[in-house]
Structure 1
Amino acid sequence: MTGDLDKYALLTGLFGGLALFLFGMDLLTNGLKRAAGDRLKDLLGKVTNNRFLGAGMGAVVTGLVNSSSVTTVILVGFISAGLMSMSQSVSVIMGANIGSTMTAQILAFNVTRFALPMVALGFLISFLPGSRNRQDYGRMLLGIGLVFYGMGLMSEAMVPLRSEPTFINFIATLGNPVLAVLTGMAFTAIIQSSAATTGIVIVLAGQGIMTLESAIAVAMGANIGTCATAGLAVIGKPREAVRAAVVHVLFNVSGVLVWILFIDQMAALARGISPEGDVPRQVANAHTIFNVANTFLFIGFTTQIARFVEWLVPDRPLATEAVLTPKYLDATLISTPTFALENTRREIGRLGAHVTDMLNKSLHVSLSGSEAELEALSAMDKPVDDLHRAILAYLGEVSRSRLSDEQSRDLMQLVTVSNDLEHIADVVTEDIVTSTRKRMQEHAGISPYTAKRIADYHAQIVRALDGAVRSVTTEDMELAQTVRDMKQEVVEMSRYISRTRFDRLKSADGAINRYVREVELVELLDGIFKTARRIARSQLERAEVEPAEEEPAEVEPAA
């Protein structure tokens, strides 16, 4: 290699270090998601109408997992399930930006010498036999060791750049804050990691190659660049996910536009609160100051931001044939079972709502419907079959991940509930439709008195099914118990209908045929009620079953 600058050493050190950095971040984030996914979900579930508490929770969760995208995934789930408003989620997204600065604070420590011991210890813990949680913690330690080691490699590789005229001239152009912001934005969009951009900036500033002011501007640009990752992630996703990404973009872009005029003041403040001469710490502190100040500037407008985003990204009505197209079965979440199972619950909620609607419509059709209405009711079964197969295929993929005992039980519960809902749909579109056709062929009309009794009974069955589905999708034990406790009332209604109809057998011609069809309908509804109670029981049993010892069985994808 000729010349003063060893380009091979520079490129391999820089890009090899960057690769190790990004791989380490991926290991760290995935380990944290697996080990603490449920606890993180519970943390965000405590968000109330207090926007400052929401921002605090967003900062804590994002700081723990080093990934604002994980926080966004949880938020989308809460919004979809009706557990959180769009307005509440805005403050959490703002807090997530503060949490993302935790990485820069850690990177500012000179811990390179501890990197390889962390890698060795993390590797040992993750590959030795033991509990899955311990192995996840080992991968987290291995990941953070690789992050620090990658930082060290990049730092060493960049030393010769101090005297490289071309590079020095380029860095000099970053004295223009607009160009510095655009550079940080473009680089982050390419490598899809604002943490890596911030890490490189810390290295350059620490070696005196880049000024603190330029480093702040590039880090601000990284805040916008990371929105590219969020934008790509929500392509084809539900409207809630798109809105969350739009909030992220608006917040970051607006913040940069406001604070780009005050970079010198932020630099002065960072120098004032940081150890003298510790430039990496000054960069990290300036990054945190920017995000905290940005949050406090906009947090008073969360309601207005939410309304604007809902206007900007309105609900999109689905075509009739696409009503049950999978909406939450996100393939990117399969490697994170906590969130994959959570999204499957929401998908099952959609399946259950459609089946409940079928059951609701079956009353009119079975009592006085036409042949055309019977055909329309039968046609509602195909979307159920398609979504049921998609859910089973998705859960089959999830089952191949490393699942805890609790996740294994949850997965099998969701498989069972999905099968039960598909069975109810078959009862409605096949058994009830067939029974109704026979009644129509026999000209056995149902009397107004009996129709009223069956309608009351049918309403109870619909209420039970709706409650059972919602108990599973919202993990509501009280609602599940309410469905279980409906047994006595429903049984008494069924017996009353059967008894009074038998007493009226001799009242008119065709009474036998009417009696048979009416009792047949009641028995079919009774079967649906039993299935609804079984769904509710599966939710109650989640809190009762002790952790299983055996490995979870794999679910075969549906054909």
Structure 2
Amino acid sequence: MGITMVLSLLSGVALFLYGMALMGDSLKKVAGNKLELILYKLTNSPIKGLLLGTVVTAIIQSSSATTVMVVGFVNSGMMKVAQAIGIIMGANIGTSITGWILCLSYIDGSNGIAQLLSTATISAIVAIIGIIFRTFVKKKPYSDIGDIMLGFAILMFGMQTMSGAVSPLKENPHFVSLLTMFKNPFMGILVGIAFTAVLQSASASVGILQALSITGSITFAAALPITMGIGVGAACPVLLSSIGTNKNGKRTALIYLLNDLFGMIFWSIVFYSVNAAVHFTFMDMVMSPVSIALLNSVFRIATILILAPFISKIEKLVFFLIKDTDEDNEEQADFDLLEERFLDYPPLAISQSQMAVNGMAKNARKNLMRAFELLTDFSDSKFNKIQEKENMIDKYEDKLGTYLMQLSMHDMTPEQAKQTSKFLHTISDFERLGDHAVNISRVAQELHEKSRTFSESATYELNVLEKALVEIVDLTVNSFVDEDLETAAKVEPLRELIGILCNDLKLRHIKRLRNGQCDLNTGFAFNDLLTNYERIAAHCSNIAVAILELDSSNFDIHEYTKSVRKLKDETYLTAFEEYEKKYDINGYQPEAEADKKFSAKAKDSEKNKDNEKSSGKKKDKDKKKDKKK
């Protein structure tokens, strides 16, 4: 096999892969977000999911791309693991369509109609139309349609180039003996896995196998194990895409691997066991591009037919292999509570909404606690966990907001309407608590990456303030979950103290910056934290006020908070004084010593200035005396 033949083969592979990528990406651009929307909305049954997975994969020409998309949906909480299984099974079938399309590249003819239908003619026509659309029609989606056509033409040309490069090998005894090795099932499966893992595409591997079949050296005995290995190798990009996702994202990627792994193991045992007994006569049959496409399709469809009845079992298996911790179970989103059929029964719908909002509140609190911990003990896993849970909190707001708006359109008693309104008001504040957790985590990340730390006095003050924030968040969430008015009333005095503390700490930090105790970079981070802390307290106050809204349907949050702060009854003042003693930021002695030293230095400098002035005056007097003399 000369260098020219190798270069020709590699250039064919390069063109083939580029054409496939260009065609697939352009198809996705033309479809826009419609494919994602269809996948998201129409997967309420396994059969629908299977059909949609097949169609979408046939369009974008990649089962890996479809599955990666689904992993993203599951990771964000938009789709459940059970819904993803059907789509993944469909993707396994849909990817076999590419093999049939590639068979078109082997149509040939020397005259008449056969020549018009030849690959060279079709590719040329498609390429010409594609380049016209791409160059002269800039308007979307026509330029993308041009890219689809160009991708198709390049793909076909790549297939022809590969076929032309390997065609002389059919007379090469070394090449024939190499392919004979693949008749060993273990060797064939390993080659299929390795080849597809490198190419990151099952369709590309099948296409190259079809090109090699032109030599006449690929038999059924060699093609079958390679085809089975190709399916397993295609799981590599999907598994890579699941790195950094949550446990459900990893479970979804694992389903893709298990499907193909089961198909490979099951059919290997069945086929080779039967072959050992009856000795199939077609094992030495020479394969063509069409027969390889047929083998690939039959293998994938047969595997899915076996697995389809066991979707629920597959779900249980992946949950068994990737277990949830107790913390994961506690923080599991409970969107299932928001059943649309409950909307006709407002008391039941309100009860379900209450439980869902309680779950949202607890998750928001947990995320804030993680963010506070991150400031003193940063880790990438904790940081990623905060971002992941923030996505879930956003989903809570979206689903609860939609559900409660639908509920508000039904006939309800005044009390039920008030309860619904309370939930609508509070979910936005709980969502904002989650946002501030993310903001704090980003400040922690910046401090960690740039190896910056606060001074001891600044750290002490932040610790005191964070303890106050932990208490106000606990008071807010507990009063909401337990519907405890007495606890809710304690929130506002603590919120006022936190506001005072934040203003005081800003002034103290400016003083430290002037003294050189802190640098300007940490000063920005310190102010960012104080801004977030103050807003967290404000959102807690909003939630507490919503809890206290009992008597009047015309309740005004701003008027209430103004009147409370203005009147400040005995209970309010007592609570405020208790919090003031509890969260005293003047207890840090090193800072007091630093202030004393600063004052002493200031006094010394003033004395020095006075001494300089007095000595200067004495010198002037002496000069005048000398002149008089």
**TM-score band (shorter)?**
0.5 to 0.7
Structure 2 CA distance for aligned equivalents of residues 510 and 296 of structure 1: 69
Structure 1 CA distance for aligned equivalents of residues 101 and 136 of structure 2: 28
Pairing of 1:476-487 with structure 2 (within 5 A): none
Q: Equivalent residue for 2:228?
A: 220
**Could you tell me whether the CA contact under 8 Å between 1:118 and 1:145 is conserved in 2?**
yes
Specify which of 35, 52, 56 is matched with residue 40 of structure 1.
35
Secondary structure of the equivalent of 1:132? Answer: coil
**Could you tell me whether the CA contact under 8 Å between 1:101 and 1:287 is conserved in 2?**
yes
Q: Equivalent residue for 2:179?
A: 171
Structure 1 CA distance for aligned equivalents of residues 193 and 292 of structure 2: 17
TM-score, normalised via structure 1 length: 0.61
Q: Equivalent residue for 1:310?
A: 319
How far off is 1:152 after superposition? 0.3
Specify which of 266, 281, 298 is matched with residue 290 of structure 2.
281
Instruction: Tell whether 2:359 aligns with 1:295.
Output: no
Pairing of 1:2-81 with structure 2 (within 5 A): 5=1, 7-81=2-76
**Could you tell me whether the CA contact under 8 Å between 2:216 and 2:286 is conserved in 1?**
no
**Could you tell me whether the CA contact under 8 Å between 2:498 and 2:534 is conserved in 1?**
no
Q: Equivalent residue for 1:492?
A: 556
Cα distance change on mapping 1:177 and 1:306 into 2, 3 Å: same
Structure 2 CA distance for aligned equivalents of residues 460 and 143 of structure 1: 63
Cα distance change on mapping 1:343 and 1:227 into 2, 3 Å: farther
**Could you tell me whether the CA contact under 8 Å between 1:155 and 1:203 is conserved in 2?**
yes
Structure 2 CA distance for aligned equivalents of residues 33 and 353 of structure 1: 36
Structure 2 CA distance for aligned equivalents of residues 374 and 305 of structure 1: 56
Structure 2 CA distance for aligned equivalents of residues 69 and 241 of structure 1: 14
What are the Cα deviations for residues 514-556 of structure 1, in whole angstroms up to 9, with x where unaligned?
A: 9xxxxxxxxxxxxxxxxxxxxxxxxxxxxxxxxxxxxxxxxxx
Q: Where do 5+ consecutive residues of structure 2 fail to align? A: 108-118, 276-280, 329-369, 399-429, 438-468, 477-489, 506-526, 577-629
Instruction: Tell whether 2:583 aligns with 1:457.
Output: no
**Could you tell me whether the CA contact under 8 Å between 1:206 and 1:279 is conserved in 2?**
yes
Q: Equivalent residue for 2:434?
A: 354
Instruction: State the one-letter code of the partner of 1:282.
Output: S
Instruction: State the one-letter code of the partner of 1:230.
Output: V
Cα distance change on mapping 1:239 and 1:260 into 2, 3 Å: same
Secondary structure of the equivalent of 1:131? Answer: coil
Instruction: State the one-letter code of the partner of 1:162.
Output: K
Instruction: Tell whether 2:195 aligns with 1:187.
Output: yes
What are the Cα deviations for residues 190-213 of structure 1, in whole angstroms up to 9, with x where unaligned?
A: 222221210121122244221134
Structure 2 CA distance for aligned equivalents of residues 430 and 79 of structure 1: 34
How far off is 1:247 after superposition? 1.1
**Could you tell me whether the CA contact under 8 Å between 2:47 and 2:86 is conserved in 1?**
yes
**Could you tell me whether the CA contact under 8 Å between 1:329 and 1:347 is conserved in 2?**
no
Specify which of 129, 132, 137 is matched with residue 121 of structure 1.
129
Pairing of 1:22-421 with structure 2 (within 5 A): 22-109=17-104, 110=106, 112-113=119-120, 114-261=122-269, 279-315=288-324, 320-321=373-374, 325-326=383-384, 352=432, 354-355=434-435, 363=476, 366-368=492-494
Instruction: State the one-letter code of the partner of 2:434.
Output: H
Instruction: State the one-letter code of the partner of 1:170.
Output: L
TM-score, normalised via structure 2 length: 0.55
Q: Equivalent residue for 1:531?
A: none
Cα distance change on mapping 1:71 and 1:369 into 2, 3 Å: same
Structure 1 CA distance for aligned equivalents of residues 496 and 202 of structure 2: 61
How far off is 1:490 after superposition? 7.5
Structure with max Cα Rg = 2
**Could you tell me whether the CA contact under 8 Å between 1:194 and 1:226 is conserved in 2?**
yes
**Could you tell me whether the CA contact under 8 Å between 2:232 and 2:257 is conserved in 1?**
yes
Percentage identity across paired residues of the two chains: 26
Structure 2 CA distance for aligned equivalents of residues 490 and 83 of structure 1: 36
**Could you tell me whether the CA contact under 8 Å between 2:49 and 2:90 is conserved in 1?**
yes
Q: Where do 5+ consecutive residues of structure 1 fail to align? A: 331-341, 380-422, 437-450, 462-487, 515-559
Structure 2 CA distance for aligned equivalents of residues 432 and 101 of structure 1: 53
Structure 2 CA distance for aligned equivalents of residues 432 and 328 of structure 1: 16
What are the Cα deviations for residues 332-380 of structure 1, in whole angstroms up to 9, with x where unaligned?
A: xxxxxxxxxx99987999985613888955846643489899999x99x
What are the Cα deviations for residues 361-413 of structure 1, in whole angstroms up to 9, with x where unaligned?
A: 5846643489899999x99xxxxxxxxxxxxxxxxxxxxxxxxxxxxxxxxxx
How far off is 1:103 after superposition? 0.7
Most deviating of 12-21 and 277-286: 277-286
How far off is 1:15 after superposition? 0.6
Instruction: State the one-letter code of the partner of 2:157.
Output: Y
Most deviating of 247-256 and 205-214: 205-214
Secondary structure of the equivalent of 1:236? Answer: coil
Most deviating of 222-231 and 289-298: 222-231
How far off is 1:138 after superposition? 1.4
Structure 1 CA distance for aligned equivalents of residues 547 and 571 of structure 2: 29
Structure 2 CA distance for aligned equivalents of residues 20 and 218 of structure 1: 23
Instruction: State the one-letter code of the partner of 2:164.
Output: E
Structure 2 CA distance for aligned equivalents of residues 258 and 129 of structure 1: 51
Cα distance change on mapping 1:347 and 1:36 into 2, 3 Å: farther
Secondary structure of the equivalent of 2:243? Answer: coil
Structure 1 CA distance for aligned equivalents of residues 394 and 313 of structure 2: 31
Cα distance change on mapping 1:353 and 1:256 into 2, 3 Å: farther
Cα distance change on mapping 1:263 and 1:510 into 2, 3 Å: closer
Cα distance change on mapping 1:371 and 1:310 into 2, 3 Å: farther
Aligned residues: 404
CA RMSD of aligned residues (A): 4.7
**Could you tell me whether the CA contact under 8 Å between 1:327 and 1:347 is conserved in 2?**
no
Cα distance change on mapping 1:372 and 1:425 into 2, 3 Å: closer
**Could you tell me whether the CA contact under 8 Å between 2:499 and 2:534 is conserved in 1?**
no
Cα distance change on mapping 1:139 and 1:432 into 2, 3 Å: closer
What are the Cα deviations for residues 34-90 of structure 1, in whole angstroms up to 9, with x where unaligned?
A: 221411112212334421221111111111111223322332333234342212211
